[in-house]
Protein backbone atom coordinates (compact mmCIF):
# COMPACT_ATOMS: atom_id res chain seq x y z
CA UNK A 1 0.00 0.00 0.00
CA UNK A 2 1.34 3.43 -0.99
CA UNK A 3 1.93 5.90 1.88
CA UNK A 4 1.42 9.60 1.31
CA UNK A 5 3.04 11.92 3.85
CA UNK A 6 3.04 15.60 4.65
CA UNK A 7 5.89 17.71 3.29
CA UNK A 8 7.11 20.15 5.92
CA UNK A 9 10.36 22.13 5.93
CA UNK A 10 11.78 20.11 3.06
CA UNK A 11 11.10 16.69 4.64
CA UNK A 12 8.38 14.06 4.25
CA UNK A 13 6.82 13.52 7.67
CA UNK A 14 4.00 11.59 9.30
CA UNK A 15 1.17 13.75 10.63
CA UNK A 16 -0.51 13.46 14.00
CA UNK A 17 -4.04 13.72 12.58
CA UNK A 18 -4.51 10.01 11.89
CA UNK A 19 -4.73 8.32 8.50
CA UNK A 20 -7.28 8.31 5.73
CA UNK A 21 -7.66 6.21 2.62
CA UNK A 22 -7.30 7.21 -1.01
CA UNK A 23 -9.52 5.41 -3.53
CA UNK A 24 -8.93 4.74 -7.22
CA UNK A 25 -12.25 6.06 -8.56
CA UNK A 26 -12.23 3.62 -11.48
CA UNK A 27 -12.48 0.57 -9.23
CA UNK A 28 -13.26 1.98 -5.78
CA UNK A 29 -10.18 0.20 -4.41
CA UNK A 30 -8.02 1.78 -1.73
CA UNK A 31 -4.50 2.28 -3.12
CA UNK A 32 -2.93 4.66 -0.60
CA UNK A 33 -3.00 5.64 3.05
CA UNK A 34 -2.59 9.34 3.65
CA UNK A 35 -1.12 10.69 6.86
CA UNK A 36 -3.26 13.62 8.01
CA UNK A 37 -1.77 16.74 9.56
CA UNK A 38 -2.89 17.68 13.05
CA UNK A 39 -2.84 21.20 14.50
CA UNK A 40 0.81 20.84 15.56
CA UNK A 41 1.83 19.74 12.04
CA UNK A 42 0.07 22.73 10.52
CA UNK A 43 1.83 24.93 13.11
CA UNK A 44 5.14 23.36 12.03
CA UNK A 45 4.41 23.91 8.32
CA UNK A 46 3.39 27.54 8.83
CA UNK A 47 6.39 28.05 11.13
CA UNK A 48 8.73 26.62 8.48
CA UNK A 49 7.16 28.84 5.82
CA UNK A 50 7.53 31.90 8.05
CA UNK A 51 11.16 31.10 8.85
CA UNK A 52 11.96 30.51 5.15
CA UNK A 53 10.97 34.10 4.38
CA UNK A 54 13.98 35.19 6.45
CA UNK A 55 16.34 32.55 4.97
CA UNK A 56 18.07 32.30 1.56
CA UNK A 57 14.71 32.48 -0.25
CA UNK A 58 14.03 35.94 1.17
CA UNK A 59 17.46 37.15 -0.02
CA UNK A 60 17.05 35.96 -3.63
CA UNK A 61 16.82 38.37 -6.52
CA UNK A 62 13.95 38.09 -9.00
CA UNK A 63 16.20 36.50 -11.69
CA UNK A 64 17.35 33.89 -9.17
CA UNK A 65 13.75 33.02 -8.27
CA UNK A 66 12.84 32.95 -11.96
CA UNK A 67 15.63 30.46 -12.66
CA UNK A 68 14.24 28.19 -9.94
CA UNK A 69 10.68 28.49 -11.28
CA UNK A 70 11.90 27.38 -14.70
CA UNK A 71 13.68 24.44 -13.09
CA UNK A 72 10.40 23.48 -11.40
CA UNK A 73 8.66 23.42 -14.80
CA UNK A 74 11.50 21.30 -16.19
CA UNK A 75 11.41 19.09 -13.09
CA UNK A 76 7.71 18.32 -13.60
CA UNK A 77 8.29 17.59 -17.28
CA UNK A 78 11.24 15.34 -16.45
CA UNK A 79 8.94 13.24 -14.27
CA UNK A 80 5.89 13.68 -16.51
CA UNK A 81 4.89 10.01 -16.46
CA UNK A 82 5.01 9.83 -12.66
CA UNK A 83 2.85 12.94 -12.32
CA UNK A 84 0.51 11.56 -14.96
CA UNK A 85 0.10 8.19 -13.24
CA UNK A 86 -0.40 9.86 -9.83
CA UNK A 87 -3.08 12.21 -11.20
CA UNK A 88 -4.89 9.40 -13.03
CA UNK A 89 -4.80 7.17 -9.94
CA UNK A 90 -6.20 9.93 -7.70
CA UNK A 91 -8.91 11.20 -10.05
CA UNK A 92 -9.76 8.38 -12.46
CA UNK A 93 -9.53 10.89 -15.31
CA UNK A 94 -8.46 9.52 -18.70
CA UNK A 95 -4.84 9.72 -19.79
CA UNK A 96 -6.05 11.67 -22.86
CA UNK A 97 -7.10 14.54 -20.56
CA UNK A 98 -4.39 14.42 -17.89
CA UNK A 99 -1.58 14.21 -20.44
CA UNK A 100 -2.91 17.15 -22.48
CA UNK A 101 -4.26 19.42 -19.77
CA UNK A 102 -3.39 18.68 -16.14
CA UNK A 103 0.31 17.86 -16.24
CA UNK A 104 1.45 20.19 -19.06
CA UNK A 105 -0.40 23.09 -17.40
CA UNK A 106 1.12 22.10 -14.04
CA UNK A 107 4.54 22.74 -15.60
CA UNK A 108 3.47 25.71 -17.75
CA UNK A 109 2.14 27.64 -14.75
CA UNK A 110 5.72 27.95 -13.42
CA UNK A 111 7.08 29.21 -16.76
CA UNK A 112 4.22 31.67 -17.25
CA UNK A 113 4.67 33.29 -13.84
CA UNK A 114 8.46 33.28 -14.26
CA UNK A 115 7.91 35.39 -17.40
CA UNK A 116 5.35 37.51 -15.62
CA UNK A 117 7.50 38.49 -12.64
CA UNK A 118 10.49 39.13 -14.88
CA UNK A 119 8.59 41.71 -16.89
CA UNK A 120 6.47 43.15 -14.05
CA UNK A 121 6.76 46.87 -13.49
CA UNK A 122 5.57 49.18 -10.75
CA UNK A 123 4.35 52.76 -10.99
CA UNK A 124 6.41 55.91 -10.50
CA UNK A 125 4.97 59.41 -10.04
CA UNK A 126 6.84 62.67 -10.02
CA UNK A 127 5.12 65.36 -8.00
CA UNK A 128 5.45 69.03 -7.19
CA UNK A 129 5.83 69.93 -3.52
CA UNK A 130 4.44 73.06 -1.77
CA UNK A 131 7.95 74.50 -1.28
CA UNK A 132 8.39 74.71 -5.03
CA UNK A 133 10.53 71.60 -5.16
CA UNK A 134 9.58 68.10 -6.11
CA UNK A 135 9.37 64.51 -5.02
CA UNK A 136 9.48 61.14 -6.68
CA UNK A 137 7.22 58.23 -5.76
CA UNK A 138 7.97 54.69 -6.74
CA UNK A 139 6.48 51.41 -5.62
CA UNK A 140 8.53 48.42 -4.51
CA UNK A 141 7.08 44.94 -4.90
CA UNK A 142 7.53 42.59 -1.96
CA UNK A 143 5.94 39.29 -0.93
CA UNK A 144 2.87 39.20 1.31
CA UNK A 145 4.43 36.47 3.45
CA UNK A 146 3.04 32.99 4.13
CA UNK A 147 0.26 32.05 1.71
CA UNK A 148 -2.25 29.27 2.46
CA UNK A 149 -3.26 27.49 -0.78
CA UNK A 150 -6.41 25.36 -0.42
CA UNK A 151 -7.27 23.28 -3.48
CA UNK A 152 -10.07 21.13 -4.96
CA UNK A 153 -9.85 17.71 -6.60
CA UNK A 154 -10.99 18.27 -10.17
CA UNK A 155 -7.71 19.53 -11.71
CA UNK A 156 -5.38 18.96 -8.77
CA UNK A 157 -1.89 19.80 -10.07
CA UNK A 158 -3.13 22.44 -12.52
CA UNK A 159 -5.14 24.39 -9.95
CA UNK A 160 -2.53 24.06 -7.20
CA UNK A 161 0.37 25.31 -9.33
CA UNK A 162 -1.88 28.07 -10.72
CA UNK A 163 -1.61 29.55 -7.19
CA UNK A 164 1.80 28.28 -6.02
CA UNK A 165 3.67 29.53 -9.11
CA UNK A 166 2.69 33.22 -8.79
CA UNK A 167 3.01 33.07 -5.00
CA UNK A 168 6.63 31.85 -5.32
CA UNK A 169 7.31 34.24 -8.21
CA UNK A 170 6.48 37.11 -5.86
CA UNK A 171 8.79 35.75 -3.15
CA UNK A 172 6.17 34.29 -0.80
CA UNK A 173 6.33 30.93 0.89
CA UNK A 174 3.35 28.56 0.78
CA UNK A 175 1.52 25.92 2.76
CA UNK A 176 -0.67 23.86 0.44
CA UNK A 177 -3.71 21.87 1.58
CA UNK A 178 -4.64 19.65 -1.36
CA UNK A 179 -8.05 18.06 -1.52
CA UNK A 180 -8.32 14.96 0.65
CA UNK A 181 -9.44 13.17 -2.55
CA UNK A 182 -6.26 14.00 -4.51
CA UNK A 183 -3.17 14.27 -2.31
CA UNK A 184 -0.60 12.69 -4.65
CA UNK A 185 0.68 15.28 -7.12
CA UNK A 186 1.09 18.05 -4.50
CA UNK A 187 3.22 15.58 -2.52
CA UNK A 188 5.24 14.54 -5.56
CA UNK A 189 5.93 18.20 -6.24
CA UNK A 190 7.70 18.30 -2.85
CA UNK A 191 10.30 15.90 -4.28
CA UNK A 192 10.78 18.16 -7.29
CA UNK A 193 11.16 21.19 -5.01
CA UNK A 194 14.06 19.45 -3.25
CA UNK A 195 15.56 18.21 -6.54
CA UNK A 196 15.77 21.69 -8.07
CA UNK A 197 17.06 23.36 -4.89
CA UNK A 198 14.08 25.32 -3.60
CA UNK A 199 15.12 26.21 -0.04
CA UNK A 200 13.42 24.19 2.67
CA UNK A 201 10.26 25.69 4.14
CA UNK A 202 9.32 27.56 0.94
CA UNK A 203 6.82 24.88 -0.18
CA UNK A 204 4.96 22.82 2.40
CA UNK A 205 2.06 20.38 2.04
CA UNK A 206 -0.36 19.40 4.79
CA UNK A 207 -2.94 16.70 4.19
CA UNK A 208 -6.41 16.22 5.57
CA UNK A 209 -10.01 17.32 5.46
CA UNK A 210 -11.48 20.81 5.73
CA UNK A 211 -13.68 21.65 8.74
CA UNK A 212 -12.09 20.89 12.11
CA UNK A 213 -9.04 19.52 10.31
CA UNK A 214 -5.98 20.57 8.29
CA UNK A 215 -7.96 22.96 6.06
CA UNK A 216 -9.43 24.92 8.93
CA UNK A 217 -6.21 24.75 11.02
CA UNK A 218 -4.41 26.34 8.09
CA UNK A 219 -6.87 29.03 7.02
CA UNK A 220 -7.41 30.20 10.60
CA UNK A 221 -3.69 30.16 11.47
CA UNK A 222 -2.58 33.57 12.80
CA UNK A 223 0.78 33.43 10.97
CA UNK A 224 -0.81 32.97 7.55
CA UNK A 225 -0.72 36.30 5.67
CA UNK A 226 -3.08 35.50 2.78
CA UNK A 227 -5.42 32.72 1.72
CA UNK A 228 -6.04 31.61 -1.84
CA UNK A 229 -8.80 29.09 -2.37
CA UNK A 230 -10.48 27.19 -5.17
CA UNK A 231 -13.57 25.18 -4.37
CA UNK A 232 -17.24 25.36 -3.50
CA UNK A 233 -18.96 28.64 -2.78
CA UNK A 234 -20.07 27.60 0.73
CA UNK A 235 -16.49 26.56 1.61
CA UNK A 236 -15.26 29.90 0.26
CA UNK A 237 -17.60 31.71 2.66
CA UNK A 238 -16.29 29.65 5.62
CA UNK A 239 -12.70 30.39 4.59
CA UNK A 240 -13.44 34.09 4.26
CA UNK A 241 -14.79 34.10 7.82
CA UNK A 242 -11.65 32.33 9.08
CA UNK A 243 -9.44 34.78 7.20
CA UNK A 244 -11.32 37.76 8.63
CA UNK A 245 -9.64 37.00 11.97
CA UNK A 246 -6.41 38.92 11.57
CA UNK A 247 -7.67 40.67 8.41
CA UNK A 248 -5.96 38.32 5.93
CA UNK A 249 -6.73 38.96 2.25
CA UNK A 250 -8.50 36.20 0.31
CA UNK A 251 -8.67 35.22 -3.33
CA UNK A 252 -11.64 32.95 -3.95
CA UNK A 253 -12.33 30.95 -7.14
CA UNK A 254 -15.68 29.31 -6.48
CA UNK A 255 -18.55 27.37 -8.03
CA UNK A 256 -20.58 28.10 -11.12
CA UNK A 257 -23.74 27.22 -13.02
CA UNK A 258 -22.48 28.35 -16.35
CA UNK A 259 -24.75 29.17 -19.29
CA UNK A 260 -24.01 28.41 -22.91
CA UNK A 261 -25.95 30.49 -25.45
CA UNK A 262 -26.29 29.19 -29.01
CA UNK A 263 -27.73 31.42 -31.70
CA UNK A 264 -29.40 30.25 -34.91
CA UNK A 265 -26.45 31.39 -37.04
CA UNK A 266 -23.84 29.35 -35.14
CA UNK A 267 -21.59 26.94 -37.04
CA UNK A 268 -23.37 23.71 -36.12
CA UNK A 269 -20.42 21.32 -36.29
CA UNK A 270 -17.94 23.57 -34.45
CA UNK A 271 -20.55 24.43 -31.84
CA UNK A 272 -21.38 20.81 -31.14
CA UNK A 273 -17.69 20.00 -30.77
CA UNK A 274 -17.09 22.93 -28.39
CA UNK A 275 -20.25 22.72 -26.36
CA UNK A 276 -19.84 18.95 -26.11
CA UNK A 277 -16.52 19.52 -24.37
CA UNK A 278 -18.04 22.27 -22.22
CA UNK A 279 -20.72 19.88 -20.96
CA UNK A 280 -18.80 16.62 -20.62
CA UNK A 281 -15.02 17.18 -20.39
CA UNK A 282 -13.45 15.73 -17.25
CA UNK A 283 -16.80 13.98 -16.61
CA UNK A 284 -18.35 17.43 -16.20
CA UNK A 285 -16.11 18.23 -13.26
CA UNK A 286 -14.84 21.57 -14.49
CA UNK A 287 -15.95 24.71 -12.69
CA UNK A 288 -16.29 26.43 -16.09
CA UNK A 289 -18.46 23.64 -17.54
CA UNK A 290 -21.87 24.27 -19.10
CA UNK A 291 -24.83 22.91 -17.17
CA UNK A 292 -27.43 25.32 -18.63
CA UNK A 293 -27.73 25.55 -22.36
CA UNK A 294 -29.96 28.14 -24.06
CA UNK A 295 -30.54 27.47 -27.76
CA UNK A 296 -32.32 29.70 -30.27
CA UNK A 297 -35.39 28.00 -31.62
CA UNK A 298 -34.23 27.70 -35.25
CA UNK A 299 -31.29 25.45 -34.33
CA UNK A 300 -32.80 23.90 -31.21
CA UNK A 301 -33.72 20.47 -32.59
CA UNK A 302 -30.35 20.03 -34.29
CA UNK A 303 -28.45 20.92 -31.10
CA UNK A 304 -30.59 18.60 -28.97
CA UNK A 305 -29.99 15.75 -31.38
CA UNK A 306 -26.27 16.49 -31.88
CA UNK A 307 -25.49 16.91 -28.18
CA UNK A 308 -27.35 13.73 -27.28
CA UNK A 309 -25.25 11.93 -29.89
CA UNK A 310 -22.08 13.43 -28.38
CA UNK A 311 -23.16 12.23 -24.93
CA UNK A 312 -23.58 8.70 -26.26
CA UNK A 313 -20.23 8.75 -28.08
CA UNK A 314 -17.88 8.64 -25.05
CA UNK A 315 -15.83 5.55 -24.39
CA UNK A 316 -15.78 4.89 -20.67
CA UNK A 317 -13.31 2.51 -19.05
CA UNK A 318 -9.71 2.14 -17.91
CA UNK A 319 -8.32 5.70 -17.64
CA UNK A 320 -4.80 4.44 -18.42
CA UNK A 321 -6.05 3.18 -21.82
CA UNK A 322 -5.43 5.85 -24.48
CA UNK A 323 -8.79 4.99 -26.12
CA UNK A 324 -10.80 5.98 -23.03
CA UNK A 325 -12.45 9.38 -23.38
CA UNK A 326 -14.46 9.59 -20.14
CA UNK A 327 -13.68 8.47 -16.61
CA UNK A 328 -15.71 8.21 -13.45
CA UNK A 329 -16.58 11.04 -11.10
CA UNK A 330 -14.26 11.55 -8.15
CA UNK A 331 -15.94 9.59 -5.33
CA UNK A 332 -18.90 7.49 -4.28
CA UNK A 333 -20.26 10.50 -2.38
CA UNK A 334 -20.02 12.73 -5.45
CA UNK A 335 -21.59 10.05 -7.68
CA UNK A 336 -24.53 9.88 -5.25
CA UNK A 337 -24.87 13.66 -5.36
CA UNK A 338 -24.87 13.70 -9.18
CA UNK A 339 -27.33 10.79 -9.33
CA UNK A 340 -29.65 12.56 -6.87
CA UNK A 341 -30.04 15.29 -9.52
CA UNK A 342 -30.64 12.63 -12.20
CA UNK A 343 -33.43 11.31 -9.98
CA UNK A 344 -34.89 14.78 -9.39
CA UNK A 345 -34.95 15.36 -13.16
CA UNK A 346 -36.70 12.03 -13.71
CA UNK A 347 -39.22 12.65 -10.91
CA UNK A 348 -40.10 16.06 -12.39
CA UNK A 349 -40.77 14.59 -15.82
CA UNK A 350 -37.71 15.93 -17.66
CA UNK A 351 -37.30 14.64 -21.18
CA UNK A 352 -34.06 12.62 -21.12
CA UNK A 353 -32.32 13.01 -24.49
CA UNK A 354 -29.31 10.91 -23.46
CA UNK A 355 -28.05 9.05 -20.41
CA UNK A 356 -29.78 9.63 -17.10
CA UNK A 357 -28.37 6.61 -15.28
CA UNK A 358 -25.36 4.49 -14.40
CA UNK A 359 -23.47 2.71 -17.19
CA UNK A 360 -22.36 -0.89 -16.88
CA UNK A 361 -18.59 -0.86 -17.40
CA UNK A 362 -17.41 -4.46 -17.52
CA UNK A 363 -14.44 -5.16 -15.26
CA UNK A 364 -14.85 -1.87 -13.39
CA UNK A 365 -18.13 -2.47 -11.56
CA UNK A 366 -16.84 -0.85 -8.33
CA UNK A 367 -16.10 2.46 -10.08
CA UNK A 368 -18.02 5.71 -9.60
CA UNK A 369 -19.67 5.83 -13.03
CA UNK A 370 -22.47 8.07 -14.22
CA UNK A 371 -23.80 8.46 -17.73
CA UNK A 372 -23.30 11.68 -19.69
CA UNK A 373 -26.78 13.13 -19.67
CA UNK A 374 -28.84 15.70 -21.57
CA UNK A 375 -32.28 16.86 -20.48
CA UNK A 376 -34.92 19.28 -21.68
CA UNK A 377 -38.30 20.31 -20.34
CA UNK A 378 -37.54 21.42 -16.78
CA UNK A 379 -38.61 24.78 -15.35
CA UNK A 380 -35.89 27.38 -14.87
CA UNK A 381 -36.34 27.22 -11.08
CA UNK A 382 -35.80 23.44 -10.94
CA UNK A 383 -32.70 22.42 -8.88
CA UNK A 384 -31.22 20.74 -11.96
CA UNK A 385 -31.21 24.15 -13.65
CA UNK A 386 -30.27 26.29 -10.62
CA UNK A 387 -27.76 24.22 -8.61
CA UNK A 388 -24.18 23.33 -9.46
CA UNK A 389 -24.20 19.56 -10.09
CA UNK A 390 -20.55 19.20 -11.20
CA UNK A 391 -21.33 16.16 -13.29
CA UNK A 392 -21.43 15.29 -17.04
CA UNK A 393 -24.86 16.73 -17.65
CA UNK A 394 -26.69 19.70 -19.05
CA UNK A 395 -30.22 21.01 -19.44
CA UNK A 396 -31.30 22.58 -22.74
CA UNK A 397 -33.90 25.37 -22.96
CA UNK A 398 -35.05 27.06 -26.19
CA UNK A 399 -35.20 30.86 -26.56
CA UNK A 400 -36.42 33.30 -29.20
CA UNK A 401 -34.72 36.65 -28.71
CA UNK A 402 -31.27 37.89 -27.66
CA UNK A 403 -32.81 39.76 -24.70
CA UNK A 404 -34.51 36.59 -23.51
CA UNK A 405 -31.23 34.64 -23.70
CA UNK A 406 -29.40 37.29 -21.66
CA UNK A 407 -32.15 37.33 -19.01
CA UNK A 408 -32.08 33.53 -18.73
CA UNK A 409 -28.29 33.42 -18.55
CA UNK A 410 -28.13 36.07 -15.82
CA UNK A 411 -30.88 34.54 -13.69
CA UNK A 412 -28.44 32.78 -11.35
CA UNK A 413 -26.63 33.59 -8.13
CA UNK A 414 -23.43 32.38 -9.83
CA UNK A 415 -21.34 34.31 -12.37
CA UNK A 416 -18.29 32.34 -13.36
CA UNK A 417 -18.23 31.65 -17.10
CA UNK A 418 -20.38 31.73 -20.24
CA UNK A 419 -19.96 30.68 -23.83
CA UNK A 420 -21.67 32.33 -26.79
CA UNK A 421 -21.97 30.62 -30.15
CA UNK A 422 -22.71 32.84 -33.16
CA UNK A 423 -21.18 33.96 -36.47
CA UNK A 424 -22.36 37.52 -35.87
CA UNK A 425 -19.73 39.69 -34.20
CA UNK A 426 -22.31 42.28 -33.18
CA UNK A 427 -24.36 39.66 -31.35
CA UNK A 428 -21.21 38.30 -29.71
CA UNK A 429 -20.11 41.72 -28.44
CA UNK A 430 -23.55 42.77 -27.20
CA UNK A 431 -24.20 39.54 -25.34
CA UNK A 432 -20.65 39.22 -23.94
CA UNK A 433 -20.97 42.71 -22.49
CA UNK A 434 -24.21 41.89 -20.72
CA UNK A 435 -23.66 38.40 -19.28
CA UNK A 436 -22.79 38.76 -15.61
CA UNK A 437 -19.76 36.45 -15.50
CA UNK A 438 -16.01 36.78 -15.06
CA UNK A 439 -15.06 34.87 -18.23
CA UNK A 440 -16.90 34.72 -21.56
CA UNK A 441 -15.81 32.61 -24.49
CA UNK A 442 -17.14 33.26 -28.00
CA UNK A 443 -17.16 30.22 -30.29
CA UNK A 444 -14.85 28.38 -27.92
CA UNK A 445 -14.59 27.09 -24.38
CA UNK A 446 -11.74 26.83 -21.84
CA UNK A 447 -9.36 28.51 -24.29
CA UNK A 448 -6.81 29.91 -21.86
CA UNK A 449 -4.27 32.69 -22.15
CA UNK A 450 -2.76 32.73 -18.68
CA UNK A 451 -2.09 36.49 -18.78
CA UNK A 452 -5.82 37.28 -18.77
CA UNK A 453 -7.94 38.06 -15.69
CA UNK A 454 -9.55 34.87 -14.36
CA UNK A 455 -12.22 34.72 -11.67
CA UNK A 456 -15.92 34.83 -10.95
CA UNK A 457 -18.61 37.43 -10.41
CA UNK A 458 -21.45 37.19 -7.88
CA UNK A 459 -21.29 33.92 -5.85
CA UNK A 460 -18.53 32.56 -8.10
CA UNK A 461 -15.66 34.31 -6.43
CA UNK A 462 -13.78 37.30 -5.17
CA UNK A 463 -10.81 38.73 -7.01
CA UNK A 464 -9.03 37.93 -10.23
CA UNK A 465 -5.89 35.91 -10.81
CA UNK A 466 -3.88 35.40 -13.99
CA UNK A 467 -1.00 37.51 -15.32
CA UNK A 468 -0.48 40.75 -13.44
CA UNK A 469 -3.70 40.14 -11.49
CA UNK A 470 -2.03 37.22 -9.72
CA UNK A 471 0.99 39.38 -8.96
CA UNK A 472 -1.34 41.94 -7.38
CA UNK A 473 -2.78 39.39 -4.98
CA UNK A 474 0.54 37.75 -4.11
CA UNK A 475 2.55 40.91 -3.57
CA UNK A 476 2.56 43.80 -1.19
CA UNK A 477 3.31 47.08 -2.95
CA UNK A 478 5.16 49.59 -0.80
CA UNK A 479 5.35 53.17 -1.97
CA UNK A 480 8.55 55.14 -1.44
CA UNK A 481 8.25 58.92 -1.65
CA UNK A 482 11.60 60.74 -2.00
CA UNK A 483 11.64 64.46 -1.44
CA UNK A 484 14.11 65.79 -3.99
P1 LIG B 1 -14.62 21.94 -1.62
O2 LIG B 1 -14.97 23.35 -1.34
O3 LIG B 1 -15.43 20.87 -1.01
O4 LIG B 1 -13.12 21.64 -1.14
C5 LIG B 1 -12.03 22.39 -1.62
C6 LIG B 1 -10.92 22.35 -0.58
O7 LIG B 1 -11.34 23.04 0.59
C8 LIG B 1 -10.53 20.95 -0.14
O9 LIG B 1 -9.14 20.91 -0.01
C10 LIG B 1 -11.22 20.83 1.22
O11 LIG B 1 -10.59 19.93 2.09
C12 LIG B 1 -11.08 22.25 1.73
N13 LIG B 1 -12.06 22.64 2.75
C14 LIG B 1 -13.34 22.25 2.88
N15 LIG B 1 -13.92 22.88 3.94
C16 LIG B 1 -12.98 23.69 4.47
C17 LIG B 1 -12.97 24.60 5.56
N18 LIG B 1 -14.04 24.83 6.31
N19 LIG B 1 -11.83 25.27 5.84
C20 LIG B 1 -10.72 25.08 5.07
N21 LIG B 1 -10.67 24.23 4.03
C22 LIG B 1 -11.78 23.55 3.71
O23 LIG B 1 -14.56 21.81 -3.20
P24 LIG B 1 -14.30 20.49 -4.06
O25 LIG B 1 -15.49 19.60 -3.90
O26 LIG B 1 -12.94 19.97 -3.75
O27 LIG B 1 -14.25 21.07 -5.56
C28 LIG B 1 -15.39 21.25 -6.36
C29 LIG B 1 -15.84 22.70 -6.29
O30 LIG B 1 -14.77 23.56 -6.66
C31 LIG B 1 -16.96 23.03 -7.25
O32 LIG B 1 -17.89 23.86 -6.60
C33 LIG B 1 -16.26 23.80 -8.37
O34 LIG B 1 -17.08 24.67 -9.09
C35 LIG B 1 -15.23 24.53 -7.59
N36 LIG B 1 -14.13 24.96 -8.46
C37 LIG B 1 -14.02 26.27 -8.80
C38 LIG B 1 -13.00 26.68 -9.66
C39 LIG B 1 -12.85 28.13 -10.09
O40 LIG B 1 -11.83 28.45 -10.70
N41 LIG B 1 -13.81 29.00 -9.85
C42 LIG B 1 -12.09 25.75 -10.14
C43 LIG B 1 -12.25 24.41 -9.76
C44 LIG B 1 -13.26 24.02 -8.91
O1 LIG C 1 -7.23 27.42 -16.32
C2 LIG C 1 -7.14 27.87 -15.18
O3 LIG C 1 -6.20 28.62 -14.84
C4 LIG C 1 -8.17 27.56 -14.18
N5 LIG C 1 -8.06 28.18 -13.00
C6 LIG C 1 -9.14 26.68 -14.49
C7 LIG C 1 -10.18 26.32 -13.62
C8 LIG C 1 -10.97 25.27 -13.93
C9 LIG C 1 -12.01 24.85 -13.06
O10 LIG C 1 -12.34 23.72 -12.88
CB of residue 288 inside a 6 A radius of ligand 2: yes
Residue 357 Cα to ligand 2 midpoint, Å, equals 28
Q: Which entry of 151, 279, 287, 393 is annotated as an active-site residue?
A: 287
Report pLDDT digits (tens) over 2-12.
999 999 999 99
Q: What is the mean pLDDT of residues 240-256?
A: 97
Q: Which entry of 87, 181, 253, 291 is annotated as an active-site residue?
A: 253
Residue nearest to atom 4 of ligand 2 (CA): 159
pLDDT computed for residue 381 by the predictor: 98
Instruction: Give yes or no: 151 in active site.
Output: no
Q: What is the mean pLDDT of residues 385-395?
A: 98
Does position 187 have pLDDT exceeding 90, yes or no? yes
% of the chain surpassing 90 pLDDT: 100
The closest-lying atom of ligand 1 relative to the alpha carbon of residue 218 is 20
pLDDT computed for residue 177 by the predictor: 98
pLDDT computed for residue 45 by the predictor: 98
CB of residue 101 inside a 6 A radius of ligand 2: no
pLDDT interval class at 23 (50, 70, 90): very high
Does position 44 have pLDDT exceeding 90, yes or no? yes
Instruction: Give yes or no: 371 in active site.
Output: no
Question: Taking Cα atoms as reference points, which of 26, 99, 87 lies closest to residue 328?
Answer: 26
Q: How far is residue 344's CA from residue 293's CA, in Å, rounded to a whole number?
A: 18
Counting Cβ atoms within 10 Å, is residue 145 exposed (0-12), middle (13-18) or buried (19+)? middle
CB of residue 448 inside a 6 A radius of ligand 2: yes
pLDDT computed for residue 342 by the predictor: 98
Starting from the CA of residue 337, give the closest ligand: 1
Average pLDDT, the chain: 98
The closest-lying atom of ligand 1 relative to the alpha carbon of residue 461 is 41
Does position 1 have pLDDT exceeding 90, yes or no? no
Report pLDDT digits (tens) over 143-175.
999 999 999 999 999 999 999 999 999 999 999
Report pLDDT digits (tens) over 279-318.
999 999 999 999 999 999 999 999 999 999 999 999 999 9
Ligand 2 probe mutation, 106, 157, 163, 230, most atoms within 8 A of CB: 230
Amino acid sequence: MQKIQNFIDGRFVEGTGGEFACHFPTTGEVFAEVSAAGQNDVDAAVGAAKAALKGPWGQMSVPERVALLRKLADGINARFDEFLAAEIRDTGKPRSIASHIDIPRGAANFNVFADQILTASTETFEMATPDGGGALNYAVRGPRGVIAVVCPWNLPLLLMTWKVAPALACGNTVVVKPSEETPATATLLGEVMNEVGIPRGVYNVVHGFGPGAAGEFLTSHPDVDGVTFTGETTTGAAIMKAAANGLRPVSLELGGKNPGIIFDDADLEATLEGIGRACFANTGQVCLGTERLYVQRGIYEKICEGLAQKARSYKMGDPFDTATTMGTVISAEHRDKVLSFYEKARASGAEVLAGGGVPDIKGYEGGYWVEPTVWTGLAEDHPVVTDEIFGPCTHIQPFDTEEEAITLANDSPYGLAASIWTRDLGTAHRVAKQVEVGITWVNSWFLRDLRTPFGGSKASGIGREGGVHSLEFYSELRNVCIKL
